[in-house]
Amino acid sequence: MTKKITRREFIAATGSFAVAMALPRITFGKDAASEVFYTGDISSEGILRVFDRIKDRVSGKVAIKMHFGEEGNKYYIKPELVKELARKLDATLIETNVLYVSKWRNEKDTHIQLARKHGFDFAPIDIIDAEGEIEIPAEGKHYQKVYAGANINEYDTIIYLSHFKGHGMAGFGGAIKNVSMGMASVHGKMALHASAVPNYDGSKCIRCEMCVGNCPGEAITIRPVKIDPEKCIGCGSCISICPTQVFDVPWRSTSQNIFMERLAEYARAVCYGRNSLFINVAADISRDCDCAGWARKPFMEDVGVFASTDLVAVEKASLDLVNKTYGVDDAFLKVNSVSGAPQIDFAHSLGLGNMKYKLIDTG
């Protein structure tokens, strides 16, 4: 269920879109270098040390947005790294359900079960789109509105704790992807991935009619299976609901640069007017996303932890040091054949932060 926020409500909450861009909660300046705090100590203590340098920005009820790892994935951020931070802040761990078919991560209860099984049993967990989604004005090139989990509005401060690693379409996945795809409802994820009609293979259909009854666009017919592209709104519910996986995400239906532009637009809409802090953990750097149960083993050594109040700066600093450590100009271009650098350029061009940063080693 979508709860629409009117433009009037948005302006009341943020002080107008233009003013929201200048909110002191996010660094939007283009000239001065932003501070990024770094440690090579990838441990609970290391995370607390870098967080200590940005903690003054924390207020009110705190959420830590993270990824609990797909079943079989070994490389997600481990619970022992976040436990003490969550305890100190009395924080809730937040996540959203996924678009692809997963035994665990399509539904709130099983998603939380998997998180507990992976060791995230020390803090409350909120699957923020389980009760519905909200519509947020975007005023972008690709989107006039974006769709995020409804419970985003339950939190005064959101710390994006992001695993910095590879991604097949985005080159790498870090904070920008954790904010955009990570906070999007299934409807929003579909809009991000595609343009946006699911692929389908009608030979697997058992005529249960669940897709037909749950399609908000009334776009599906099943004798034979067909989607009317004029009616499909790209919500992705047929992908989640079909018991025989007739439908699939059209992952490759949008070019990689457009996909990255979309991620940046979503990130802008999600962050504006919200107190957002960013911690990247560049460890267990697989070339694959944490959604992959089969993710390949890390292709390089661990790099460290980065914290900032500036989304662009924390991504740029993380990518630069990954490249330097791996000894190439673009590590993800080399291993994934996709450069993730355009994500950062797009986010910068949208005013989401500084390309200039000052890396401060906290030991």
- According to the binding rule CB under 6 A, does residue 217 interact with ligand SF4? yes
Q: Which residues pair with 298 in a beta bridge?
A: none
- According to the binding rule CB under 6 A, does residue 225 interact with ligand SF4? yes
- According to the binding rule CB under 6 A, does residue 237 interact with ligand SF4? yes
- According to the binding rule CB under 6 A, does residue 209 interact with ligand SF4? yes
Cα within 13 Å of Cα(154), Cβ side = 18
Question: Which region among 19-27, 92-100, 216-224, 267-275 touches ligand SF4 (by CB under 6 A)?
Answer: 216-224
Tell me how many degrees the CA angle 148-149-154 measures, rounded to the nearest 5: 115
Nearest distance, CB of residue 165 and ligand SF4, angstroms: 28
- Closest CB to ligand SF4 among residues 99, 158: 99
Number of residues written out for the chain: 363
The binder of ligand SF4 chosen from 238, 312, 317, 319 (CB under 6 A): 238
The binder of ligand SF4 chosen from 63, 242, 249, 289 (CB under 6 A): 242
The binder of ligand SF4 chosen from 15, 29, 124, 216 (CB under 6 A): 216
Strands in the chain per DSSP E? 2-4, 34-39, 62-65, 92-95, 125-127, 133-137, 145-149, 157-163, 165-167, 171-173, 199-200, 220-222, 225-227, 247-248, 275-282, 304-308, 357-361
Contact letters for ligand SF4, residues 46-85 (x by CB under 6 A): ----------------------------------------
Rule CB under 6 A: which of 161-200 touch ligand SF4? Answer: 198
Ordered DSSP codes for 288-336: S-TT-TTPPPPSS---EEEEES-HHHHHHHHHHHHHHHHTSS-HHHHHH
Q: 3-class SS at 162?
A: strand
Ordered DSSP codes for 225-277: EEE-TTT-----HHHHH-TT--EE--TTSS-HHHHHHHHHHHHHHHHTTSEEE
Nearest distance, CB of residue 55 and ligand SF4, angstroms: 42
Nearest distance, CB of residue 213 and ligand SF4, angstroms: 9
Nearest distance, CB of residue 209 and ligand SF4, angstroms: 5
The binder of ligand SF4 chosen from 63, 128, 186, 219 (CB under 6 A): 219
The binder of ligand SF4 chosen from 244, 255, 337, 349 (CB under 6 A): 244
How far apart CA 79 and CA 349 sit, in angstroms, is 34
- Closest CB to ligand SF4 among residues 213, 363: 213
CA 335 distance to own-chain centroid:
21
Nearest distance, CB of residue 36 and ligand SF4, angstroms: 39
- According to the binding rule CB under 6 A, does residue 246 interact with ligand SF4? yes
211 vs 108, 129, 220, 222, 346, CA distance in Å? 20, 20, 7, 9, 36
Question: Which region among 36-44, 58-66, 227-235, 267-275 touches ligand SF4 (by CB under 6 A)?
Answer: 227-235
- According to the binding rule CB under 6 A, does residue 236 interact with ligand SF4? yes
Give the type of residue at 42: I
The binder of ligand SF4 chosen from 149, 174, 182, 234 (CB under 6 A): 234
How far apart CA 93 and CA 27 sit, in angstroms, is 24
Nearest distance, CB of residue 2 and ligand SF4, angstroms: 13
Contact positions toward ligand SF4, by CB under 6 A?
198, 205-211, 215-217, 219-220, 222, 225, 227, 232-238, 241-244, 246
